[in-house]
Amino acid sequence: MAADQEIFLRAKNRTFNGFTEEEQCEWKEPFYFIQAADPQLGFIKAWSIRDCENGGDEWGEEVALTQQAVQAVNKLAPRPKFMVLCGDLIHAMPGVKAVFSGHYHRNAGGMHNGLDMVVTSAIGCQLGSDPHGLRLVVVKEEKVVHRYYSLDELSKTGMEKELRDLLG
């Protein structure tokens, strides 16, 4: 596994390897972090054509700027301790078939004008009867297919054949 992918595997058991209480509980030295905000994909075009309700169907410029920001941060020495991204992530969603969210701590959702709203239950504290879990989402050009898996189920059986087959 590439070293740059290992960073995503360091979060485990409600901790992040690199930010342990033992290592971080006492002040040791100055550090810095990066705070970035509002990539707001789609807003540049919407603002330029003065149609913020309907004009956000192009994301190219914001994606390029976000990539530039990541590249610039990755070149910094010394490296920042961490980076947080705040504010609006997207402004408009061209061609979107589904919106995925959380915070409800249970599975829920609905459909409106062809847009599927999918609320995924929590890994942590459950407020409903759903087991602790996560949602696997397969995105194809013509459709989006998703399934909620309990953590136990996913650990024991992995992704079901139907979803694997969709990946080709």
Q: Residue 16 above 70 pLDDT?
A: no
Q: Which residues pair with 153 in a beta bridge?
A: none
pLDDT tens-digit map of 36-94: 888 888 888 888 888 777 777 788 899 899 999 999 999 988 888 888 877 777 776 66
- Could you give the percent of the chain with pLDDT greater than 90? 34
User: What sections of the chain are H helices per DSSP?
Assistant: 3-6, 21-24, 43-48, 60-74, 151-157, 161-166
Output the pLDDT for position 3.
Answer: 55
pLDDT tens-digit map of 97-119: 788 888 889 999 998 877 788 99
Output the pLDDT for position 89.
Answer: 75
Written as one letter, the residue type at 111 is M
Phi-psi region of 115 (alpha: psi -120 to 50; beta: other; left: phi over 0): beta
Output the pLDDT for position 133.
Answer: 93
Q: Which residues pair with 85 in a beta bridge?
A: 36
Q: Is the pTM of this model over 0.85?
A: no
